[in-house]
A and B are shown apart, each in its own frame.
Chain A
Amino acid sequence: MIVGVWIATGILAVSIVLGLVRIGTATDAASRAVVGDLVFFSAIGLLVLLGMQTQSAAVVDAAMLAALLGILATIALARIITRGRR
């Protein structure tokens, strides 16, 4: 169902745009960090959809690694908003 993949790609693109708008309008650093996280996960979704379009086998591994290592980005954001304090 390639139509479904296109629709889903559009919906994820809208989510990322909404996220970027929220990052621009947020008043505290913590909110920006959370929305950044959501944009990251939307990007994983786009990656998987791209793999469905091109029937690429490497995307399966890429999505797995992104899901496993996504925590590093979040921890970095967490350290940044506390200014290095744990």
Chain B
Amino acid sequence: MTGTAFVVLEVLSGVMVVAGALFVLVSAIAMLRQRDAFARINVMSPATGMGLPLIVVAAFVHRVALGTATVTDGLKTVVTVAALLVVSSVATNILARAAYLSGAPVAPETQPQELAEDPRP
């Protein structure tokens, strides 16, 4: 890939990695600022749903610009993004349930709190 296309793709991948990293940073700052474990689990999603997919796709765009990308690379990128979205959300469900079972304190501001009334799960 040469000339204008190379520059456009390289700038695009540069912008995407920085944007992706910023979303991970947002999650990290939110971890410091939120009040209980459940709110912290909640603010993981910007990192796993938006930040990391952006970085992974940017790496593929970078390889396209260099001319080293293959169809297999593209498929692996799709699988990685799908795994980040699906696998991480299943993992988060498990962690959230474990957090509640372990008796992690719920912030008193939580209103309504309907899990306390009917502890079925």
| Chain A residues packing against B (C-beta within 8 Å) | 1, 3-5, 7-9, 11-12, 14-16, 18-19, 21-22, 28-31, 33-35, 37-38, 41-42, 44-45, 48-49, 51-52, 55, 57, 59-61, 63-64, 67-68, 70-71, 74-75, 77-79, 81-83, 85
Contact = CB atoms under 8 A, between A and B. Distances in A.
Determine chain A's interface SS by DSSP, over half rule. helix
Nearest to A10: B21
A12 B105 CA distance: 29
B26 to A, nearest CB: 9
Interface residues of B, number: 54
A11 B80 contact: no
Contacts of A79: 98
A68 B59 contact: no
A15 B28 contact: yes
A15 B25 contact: yes
B21 A61 contact: no
A41 B36 CA distance: 21
Nearest to B48: A41
Contact of B66 (A45, A55, A71): A55
A78 B98 contact: yes
Nearest to B73: A60
A19 to B, nearest CB: 6
A31 to B, nearest CB: 5
A18 B47 CA distance: 14
7 contacts: A11-B24, A12-B25, A28-B104, A37-B91, A48-B59, A52-B62, A78-B95
Interface in B84-99: 84, 87-88, 90-92, 94-95, 97-99
A74 B94 contact: yes
Given A57-B73, A75-B91, 12 more contacts: A1-B10, A4-B13, A15-B25, A22-B32, A30-B102, A34-B44, A52-B13, A55-B66, A63-B56, A64-B79, A71-B87, A78-B95
